[in-house]
Amino acid sequence: MPTPRHRPRRTLVAILVPLAAAACAPAAAQVVDSEEYRFRVVTVARGLEHPWGIAFLPGGDMLVTEREGRVRLIRGGALQAAPVAGAPEVAARGQGGLLDIELHPRFAENRFVYLTYSKPGAQGATTALARARWDGTRLTDLQDLFVADAWRRTGAHFGSRIVFDRGGMVYVSVGEGNLKQPAQALDNHFGKVVRLHDDGRVPRDNPFVGRAGAKPEIWSYGHRNPQGMALHPTTGELWANEHGARGGDEINRVLPGRNYGWPAITHGVDYSGARISPDTALPGMEQPRLHWTPSIAPSGLAFYTGDKFPRWRGHTFTGAMAGEHLRRVVFEGDRPTHQERLLRGRARIRAVKVGPDGFLYLLTDASDGAVLRLEPAEGGR
């Protein structure tokens, strides 16, 4: 925090009255000029400890996960003081903790809420997918639907995002624990995207079902640490971004049974500067649709599908934590044609999501993290 400036002595009343008025007044919104729009950055809520995922409840309320293991409720536009009861016990160390949150596509009927988290156990911790019911004030009937065979003693690289496809299947990304080589093996869940029925059962048409020595939940492999996933609004295909090491961050079109190369191929080097692989391409391994060197540390991924910013419709947005900005990417098919950096230096952006109101929502990764909303500004283009 900045050092407070010296202020002259005043009476206690003279100090407290302006402070009380300021506490009641809404925070001023920042106005930003971008290539396509002038927009406002509105702070919906702050005081969140490393918020990670956000889900929009019917009626305008929101559920937000904090990495330390809490689910928070924003009700009527205000962050409720008490955490939501019923969250799972998490291994909150390093990058681990309570991660993503998503509602079932038929939430209005079944009230199901899905959570990913780093599950503690005798072997350390792993990524797990849990399901609970929302009763309006708390989570009930919590149960694990999937516990990844990706146990590690470290707190590194858990993933993890949740996406439902148009057929109701659920996808979960699992990081490779910074262990590299297991991402290339099919006998574990390190560095994988898995696909499940909404109750955790394995779909019979998964690409490795019935293959000896392969985990049947696997949809794709050879990933490093995917922390953003979204469905393409036109094709319905799954797209994901993932962290490289020092460079080599990627956006991928995630297709069934495909190998995305880590660590056999990469466009980055290790944090020490050591070479991870001499190859950036090998037969049978997918190339990213886009890669970044130096790293921007991408987290969160959304295709804009709302009506508030029509010229952004179909564009891809990803948070950049190392770069502290929001990255807009224009694709023609699966080829990137243009990029723009928005909100430069604003914050480490952990999550990006389009709200049901058509606005774009962001989570900032900080001990005093915030939910931000992007809205068109008056006089905007």
- Taking residues 324-337, what's their average pLDDT? 97
77-135 pLDDT tens trace: 999 999 999 999 999 999 999 999 999 999 999 999 999 999 999 999 999 999 999 99
Q: How far apart are CA 116 and CA 322, in angstroms?
A: 23
Q: Domain of residue 285: give its range.
A: 46-376
How many domains does the chain fold into? 1
The percentage of the chain sitting over the pLDDT mark of 70, rounded to a whole number, equals 92
The per-residue pLDDT for 378 is 81
Q: What is the pLDDT of residues 34-52, one digit of tens each?
A: 999 999 999 999 999 999 9
Amino acid at site 264 = A
pLDDT at 323: 86
> Is residue 35 assigned to a domain?
no
Between 7 and 306, the more confident residue is 306
- Mind telling me the catalytic residues? 157
The values of phi and psi at residue 15, to 5°, are -80, -45
How confident is the model at residue 3, as a pLDDT?
Answer: 37
Task: Specify the pLDDT at position 4.
Answer: 38
Q: What does the alpha-carbon distance between residue 68 and residue 94 come to, in Å, rounded to a whole number?
A: 10
- Map 52-115 to HEC letters: EEEEECCCCCEEEEECCCEEEEEECCEECCCCECCCCCCCCCCCCCEEEEEECCCHHHHCEEEE
Per-residue pLDDT at 28: 62
For residue 31, pLDDT over 80 is answered with yes
pLDDT for 151 equals 98
Contact status, residue 315 vs residue 329, Cβ threshold 8 Å: yes
Give the residue, 7 or 195, on which the prediction is more confident: 195
Q: How confident is the model over 280-298, as pLDDT tens digits? A: 999 999 999 999 999 999 9
Which residues, listed in sequence order, are joined to residue 200 by a DSSP beta bridge? none
The span from the CA of 100 to the CA of 64, in Å, is 9
pTM of the predicted model as reported, rounded to 2 decimal places: 0.92
Task: With beta carbons less than 8 A apart as the criterion, state whether 200 and 272 touch.
Answer: no
For 150-186, how does the pLDDT look when each residue is reduced to its tens digit (9 = 90+)? 999 999 999 999 999 999 999 999 999 999 999 999 9
Instruction: List residues bridging with 162 in a β-sheet.
Output: 172
Residue indicated by tokens 């406002």: 40
Q: Is residue 151 part of a domain?
A: yes
Asked whether residue 298 is domain-assigned, the answer is yes
Averaged pLDDT score across all residues of the chain: 93
Tokens of 216: 């049947």
- Does the residue 89 lie in any domain? yes
pLDDT of residue 20: 33
* Separation between Cα atoms, residue 15 and residue 223, nearest integer Å: 55
Residue 10 lies in a domain: no
> Is 115 within a domain?
yes
Give the tens place of pLDDT for each residue, 299-310.
999 999 999 999
Task: Kindly tell me if the per-residue pLDDT of 12 is higher than 70.
Answer: no
Query: Is residue 193 a part of any domain in this protein?
Result: yes
SS3 category, 20: helix
Tell me the C-alpha distance between 213 and 233, whole Å: 35
Which of 189, 174, 154, 185 lies closest to 224, judged by CA? Answer: 174
Tell me whether residue 65 is exposed, middle or buried, using C-beta atoms within 10 angstroms of its C-beta: 0 to 12, 13 to 18, 19 or more: buried
Q: Look at residue 381 in the predicted model and tell me its pLDDT.
A: 65
Spatial CB neighbours of 135, under 8 Å, sequence gap ≥ 6:
111
Q: Which two tokens stand for residue 248?
A: 């080599």
The answer to whether residue 18 scores a pLDDT higher than 50 is no
Measured CA to CA, the distance from residue 327 to residue 314 in angstroms comes to: 14
Query: What's phi and psi for 372, nearest 5 deg?
Result: -115, 150
Tell me, what's the pLDDT at 215? 98
In the structure encoding, which two tokens stand for residue 269, read together?
Answer: 């080097």
CATH code for the domain in which residue 316 is found: 2.120.10.30
With respect to residue 218, please indicate whether it lies within any of the assigned structural domains.
yes
Pair of tokens at residue 325: 């900005």
Q: What percent of the chain has pLDDT over 90?
A: 91
